[in-house]
Amino acid sequence: MFVEQRIVTLFKRNAHHTLTYWSVFFSFGLCIAFLGPTILDLKCQTNSTLSQITWVFFSQQFCLLIGSTVGGIFKRTLFSALSALFVSALFISVIFAIIPLCNNVLVLAIAMAVSGLAMGIIDTIANIQLVTIYQKDSAVFLQALHFFIGFGALVSPLIADPFLSEHGCGNHTENGTEMMHHFRNLLRNSPIAAQNINQSHLPHGGGEEESIVHYAFWIMALINLPVPIIVLFLMYREQLIPCCPRSTPRLLDKDELAMENQQGAEGTEVEQAAHEGGGHGDIFSCCQNDNLRGLPVSFFMIHILGGMVLFMTDGIVGAYAGFVYAYAVAPPISLSHKTAGYLPSIFWAAITAGRLLSIPLTYRFPVVRLLMFNLVGAIVTVLLLLILYTSSTFLFVGTGLCGFFLSSIFPCMLAYTEDILSYQGCATTILVTSAGMGEMVMQVLVGSIIQTEGSYSFLLCGVIIACIGLMVFIGLFFFARMHTNYLTAGTTKKSAMVEEETPEQNGSAKVEPEKEAGKS
């Protein structure tokens, strides 16, 4: 068979949980890419400037980072994890429903911040729960999880486009329409990029058309509404709803069941790692002295370097998706606005296809090889884009290749680091937080460099960031080998101690019968 029967059995045993987390991440993907295309309509709705609306979206990204950081708090029990998912998914639907009613930019900023906090909590909890359930087999299921967020991000513009006003607050002129398409395609993929636009270029004047974007938000709220219902149904099946009577004892938690499956092969190592690592939790609980005492340097470096790799690679994803349109319409390529508008869609489509293809590849090949292949492939692709910077044809090809190579780095890195740390450390929370921070910081950094140095610096920044990511990953690989040797030496030492104690016990057991025989 293409997939081992053991994997199929494990999936069937945890199918309800896994499908619930996948559906939550599809909704997360819809939400994370849905707001960008509506930024100009929200500007008109709140009678605010483009700069003010940009900071509204920045508040959402910042709170998403906070939610990713504190999301590990809710993993302590299955009840708290599912309850947090239910509340967060419900809040997202409510926020999307009330966004059309926010006529003040400050109220809109608060609503966006709450939705970002909810999405950050979902991001961390879903990743942690899948890692806890499948442990050494989690790479395949993490690839599928992140395929759904890519698929959601690809589908979301299709939902928004029919309801976007063609002229916004401006004139109904041909030039105004073309300029509005220009800004919408740019802002669809990077709210931060709005800071680089001179507001004097926006068309102003009479002839406003009534916006119908509120229908898009309400449809989005309805599409997202089944997600909290699915989570609530899972809580009902697990008998975690307090108001429902419990006629039979609640089933074992999925993380307990996964722990039992792993104990057959390496129970002693897992228990020792659990004692040392302190378990998955928020970053602050991971930094307590009791959890850090006696751990080797390699343990800390794996967390730090793994987070740095995702800081760089997810930063490239955010920056490329945000500024590839602006790069394409500028000299020397100077594509038309309509043609350049396909580039972000190609990039997200390549990410989605790459994550889909990575599901069987992760099953067949070690994740460390896939990580090295993807990092080298991303460097080569961006370097070729830099060399062939005048070729519009290769810009489309390179955009697809870049999205393909970057697509599976995050789930592979998650599975790789958790495997090294025996699935008991704080790697998931730290990696998710680092990835979100990198996407936020790199967008601002690359955008400011493009504004001062020109569009050519866009690809140069990509090459530098990708090379730094590869060097950091090589360092991570070195410390991973060091940590594996440390765990192996500890296990060998314990086995030797057990072997020394066993003959002594056997000898004392033989002496006792001899004494008894002498007495008799």
Tens-place pLDDT, residues 173-186: 333 444 444 444 44
Q: What's the rounded mean pLDDT across residues 55-78?
A: 79
Question: Do residues 217 and 296 both lie within one domain?
Answer: no
DSSP-assigned states of every residue in 385-418? HHHTTT-HHHHHHHHHHHHHHHHTHHHHHHHHHH
Query: Two tokens at 89?
Result: 């998914």
Q: Half-sphere exposure of 47 toward its Cβ, with a 13 Å CA cutoff?
A: 2
Q: In the predicted model, is pLDDT for residue 399 greater than 50?
A: yes
For residue 177, with 0-12 CB atoms within 10 Å meaning exposed, 13-18 middle and 19 or more buried, which class applies?
middle
Question: Do residues 217 and 317 both lie within one domain?
Answer: no
Question: Do residues 299 and 223 both lie within one domain?
Answer: no
pLDDT of residue 47: 86
pLDDT of residue 229: 92
Residue 127 belongs to a domain: yes
Question: Do residues 224 and 292 both lie within one domain?
Answer: no
pLDDT of residue 131: 82
Question: Do residues 120 and 170 both lie within one domain?
Answer: yes
Q: What's the rounded mean pLDDT across residues 369-392?
A: 93
pLDDT of residue 361: 87
pLDDT of residue 264: 42
For residue 170, with 0-12 CB atoms within 10 Å meaning exposed, 13-18 middle and 19 or more buried, which class applies?
buried
pLDDT of residue 463: 93
pLDDT of residue 155: 75
Confidence of residue 245 (pLDDT cuts 50, 70, 90): low
pLDDT of residue 199: 42
Residue 278 belongs to a domain: no
- Cα separation of 127 and 207, whole Å? 48
Q: How many domains does the chain have?
A: 2
- Cα separation of 137 and 133, whole Å? 9
pLDDT of residue 209: 54
pLDDT of residue 496: 65
Question: Do residues 287 and 237 both lie within one domain?
Answer: no
Helix 138-160 and helix 409-420, axial crossing angle in degrees, nearest 10:
150
Confidence of residue 505 (pLDDT cuts 50, 70, 90): low
Query: Two tokens at 71?
Result: 């999301």
Query: Two tokens at 309?
Result: 């790799």
Distances (CA, A) of 401 to 14, 265, 433, 439, 459: 34, 39, 26, 19, 14
- Cα separation of 284 and 73, whole Å? 9
Tens-place pLDDT, residues 252-295: 444 444 444 444 444 334 334 333 434 445 555 565 545 556 67
Question: Do residues 177 and 292 both lie within one domain?
Answer: no
Give residue 437's domain range. 283-487
Residue 372 belongs to a domain: yes
Q: How far apart are the first and last CA of the chain?
A: 66
Who wins on pLDDT, 323 or 310?
Answer: 310
Q: In the predicted model, is pLDDT for residue 487 greater than 50?
A: yes
Tens-place pLDDT, residues 424-442: 557 777 888 888 888 878 8
Candidate from 21-30, 147-156, 237-246, 289-298 with smallest mean pLDDT: 289-298
Q: What's the rounded mean pLDDT across residues 371-379?
A: 95
Q: In the predicted model, is pLDDT for residue 196 greater than 60?
A: no
Residue % of the chain over a pLDDT of 70: 70
Confidence of residue 205 (pLDDT cuts 50, 70, 90): very low
Q: What's the rounded mean pLDDT across residues 355-361?
A: 86
Tens-place pLDDT, residues 110-124: 998 998 898 888 888
Confidence of residue 501 (pLDDT cuts 50, 70, 90): low
Q: In the predicted model, is pLDDT for residue 474 greater than 90?
A: yes
Question: Do residues 170 and 305 both lie within one domain?
Answer: no
- Cα separation of 19 and 2, whole Å? 21
Residue 271 belongs to a domain: no
Q: In the predicted model, is pLDDT for residue 381 greater than 90?
A: yes
Query: In whole numbers, what is the pLDDT of the chain averaged over residues?
Result: 75
Distances (CA, A) of 348 to 181, 264, 339, 380, 401: 19, 41, 16, 19, 11
Question: Do residues 227 and 287 both lie within one domain?
Answer: no
State which amino acid sits at residue 22: W
Which of 12-16, 158-162, 435-439, 461-465 has the highest average model confidence (pLDDT)? Answer: 461-465
Q: In the predicted model, is pLDDT for residue 385 greater than 90?
A: yes
Cβ atoms of 129 and 21 closer than 8 Å: yes
Q: Sign of torsion, CA 224 225 231 233?
A: negative
Supply the DSSP symbol for 199.
G
Question: Do residues 119 and 194 both lie within one domain?
Answer: yes
Residue 514 belongs to a domain: no
Which of 211-225, 231-245, 290-304, 391-405 has the highest average model confidence (pLDDT)? Answer: 391-405
Tens-place pLDDT, residues 446-460: 877 887 888 788 899
Nearest to 430 by CA among 305, 292, 298, 314: 305
Residue 263 belongs to a domain: no
Phi-psi region of 164 (alpha: psi -120 to 50; beta: other; left: phi over 0): beta
Q: In the predicted model, is pLDDT for residue 23 greater than 50?
A: yes
- Cα separation of 47 and 213, whole Å? 15
Q: In the predicted model, is pLDDT for residue 512 greater than 70?
A: no
pLDDT of residue 90: 92
Who wins on pLDDT, 142 or 258?
Answer: 142
pLDDT of residue 348: 81
Residue % of the chain over a pLDDT of 90: 16
Who wins on pLDDT, 301 or 362?
Answer: 301
pLDDT of residue 455: 79
pLDDT of residue 411: 87
Task: Match 């707001």 to its residue by tokens.
Answer: 35
Q: In the predicted model, is pLDDT for residue 412 greater than 50?
A: yes
Query: Two tokens at 388?
Result: 């062939």
Nearest to 114 by CA among 80, 67, 156: 67
Question: Do residues 425 and 295 both lie within one domain?
Answer: yes
Residue 410 belongs to a domain: yes
Cβ atoms of 326 and 341 closer than 8 Å: no
CATH number at residue 173: 1.20.1250.20
Residue 403 belongs to a domain: yes
Question: Do residues 288 and 228 both lie within one domain?
Answer: no
Torsion, Cα of 264, 269, 274, 275 (10° steps): 130
